[in-house]
Structure 1
Amino acid sequence: MIKATALGVNGAFTKYYHNNFVFELGSRKLLVDAGTTLRYSLYEGGFKETDITDIFITHLHSDHGGGLEEFAQKCKWIYDHKPNLWVRFDMIDELYEVIEKGLCTDGLTINDYFTVGILGSFKGVGEFNIESHRIKFIETDNMHCEGMTSTALKFYDLNGYNVIYSSDIKNLKDSGLIEHVNDSTKGIFQDCSLIPNNVHSTVEEVIEYYGEQNKNKIYAMHYQDDVDAREADDKYGIRFMIRGHVTF
């Protein structure tokens, strides 16, 4: 079983909560992205810092990584809690550059705050395990915006079912994500905008890319604040995520 809880489903400029998720994998809880609204959304989602055992940051825009420093400070200095931080080997220098300035004073290093797991030594696709769940990371560099290192994820449960998490992406046609969709795919959490733009897929692009046969698997996320999710469901025939959880 994979339980995914949306701490927020909206974009970078939301008045509400950024598009960050907690995936419950056995007894462990993986935080996917830690935007600057995490200080509020984590608690309102029913979690506290010490619940989070693992973290993965898909890319380094502030709505996905801007709350990581504060989260780390609370874990260390208030709760004496040291979660695992999973990082692609070719993203680690970028991530450290962003968070070391605030965390690594007085001789401290990232390893004082996190147990760092460096993933893979090659480009493309790699895997890691959390308990009995397998997680595949899929490189989507330059497909959200040029010059941005970014990563999509695919989760496998004990029964072989899988769930795909796109993170932010514009260039779907070159992403190869459709190649990871199969009969065992139960959900596709897909970045989706109702307004044409240069860095996010539009709902029309998403539906065209995955095809009519996969519409019932799509969970749209990262959309604009003024979208009525239930009206959008009816209009487009896919599901628009709201804050809360879904279990596969």
Structure 2
Amino acid sequence: MAELTMLGVGHSEAIDHWNNNAMIEANGRRLLIDAGYTIKFALRDRGLTLADIDAVFITHAHADHCFGLERLAYECRFRYDFKPTLYLPPGVYEELWEHTLKGVMGQIGEGEAQLSDFFDVVLLDGAPFEFEGVELAYFQNRHTPTKPSYGLMINNRLLFSGDTRPIPELIAERHPEIVLHDCTLADWNPVHASVQELYEQYPAELRQRLYLMSYEDNFEQHRSQVEQEFAGFARQGQVFDL
């Protein structure tokens, strides 16, 4: 049996929830979908530590999705003595290592270091990959213009949008049973989908299968509308069968 747990559901500015990261568990092993700067707190809430993580998939190089990799890298190397697997879709390696992590991880006590000194790096080539029998097919979404950024279709059942503007045609062609979709509670945002845009661009039948994630702290003001028009807000710690 495989399942996905929402480790956090918060917007990058949120303090009431952890970063919008998730975890797949299958056959006793665990894959993170993103590892933001709150990842240790999120795992603690589930009774886990970084030593319990076997692999990570990074959707894109923004702090609330990848800054936890520095802590995961150091603790797994120097405290737990193992290398997690790091799955990177096309274009993410360059932004993640050369422009994000190298400044803090490129030099250690033993000398110069590479990302591969901390992780078993798997550079994905566009094809789906598997983790413990769970199929993960990734696709370019619509986040920051020209930035490599991805969503996931998991086991042909659950679509995890990643940070994105509305992507109605990408969802329609995949026919997911469940959708976990990025949203902002602001009226408009250049790199996130607003609740109003999701209401206008997604049909009612799909909205009833769509859970909103990555939301701001004022979500209670929007709960009634969201629960009426969508499946609701994804909850921190909520589990979805895969």
Whether TM-score is above 0.5 comes out as: yes
Partner Cα distance (2:80, 2:32) in 1: 17
What whole-Å deviation, never above 9, does each CA across 1:192-222 have from its counterpart, x for those lacking one?
1221221111123223333111222111101
Q: Find the partner of 2:113 among 101, 108, 112.
A: 108
Aligned residues: 234
User: Given the superposition, is the C-alpha separation of residues 171 and 26 from structure 1 closer, same or farther in structure 2, using an over 3 Å criterion?
Assistant: same
Residue 171 of structure 1: how far off its partner (Å): 4.3
Q: Residue 151 of structure 2 aligns with which residue?
A: 152
User: Is the aligned partner of 1:178 residue 2:172?
Assistant: yes
What pairs up with 1:1-248 in 2 under 5 angstroms?
Answer: 1-16=1-16, 17-97=18-98, 98-105=100-107, 106-120=111-125, 125-140=126-141, 143-156=142-155, 162-173=157-168, 176-181=170-175, 185-195=176-186, 196-228=188-220, 231-248=224-241
Partner Cα distance (1:26, 1:114) in 2: 21
SS at match of 2:146: coil
Contact 2:227 2:233 in 1 (8 A): no
Partner Cα distance (1:166, 1:193) in 2: 13
What whole-Å deviation, never above 9, does each CA across 1:108-161 have from its counterpart, x for those lacking one?
2211211111101xxxx5211112111101012xx21223210111110xxxx5
Residue 232 of structure 1: how far off its partner (Å): 4.6
The one-letter code matched in structure 1 to 2:106 is C
SS at match of 1:213: helix
Residue 233 of structure 1: how far off its partner (Å): 4.2
SS at match of 1:227: helix
User: Given the superposition, is the C-alpha separation of residues 29 and 200 from structure 1 closer, same or farther in structure 2, using an over 3 Å criterion?
Assistant: same
The one-letter code matched in structure 1 to 2:161 is S
TM-score (norm 2): 0.89
Q: Percent identity?
A: 29
TM-score (norm 1): 0.87
Contact 2:40 2:50 in 1 (8 A): no
Alignment root-mean-square deviation, CA = 1.9
Unmatched tracts of structure 1, length 5 or more: none
Partner Cα distance (2:201, 2:231) in 1: 13
After the TM superposition, list the runs of 4 or more consecutive aligned residues in structure 1 that deviate by more than 4 angstroms. none
Contact 2:23 2:31 in 1 (8 A): yes
Partner Cα distance (1:178, 1:207) in 2: 15
Unmatched tracts of structure 2, length 5 or more: none
User: Given the superposition, is the C-alpha separation of residues 79 and 154 from structure 1 closer, same or farther in structure 2, using an over 3 Å criterion?
Assistant: same
Contact 1:3 1:245 in 2 (8 A): no
User: Given the superposition, is the C-alpha separation of residues 230 and 171 from structure 1 closer, same or farther in structure 2, using an over 3 Å criterion?
Assistant: closer
Partner Cα distance (1:100, 1:107) in 2: 10
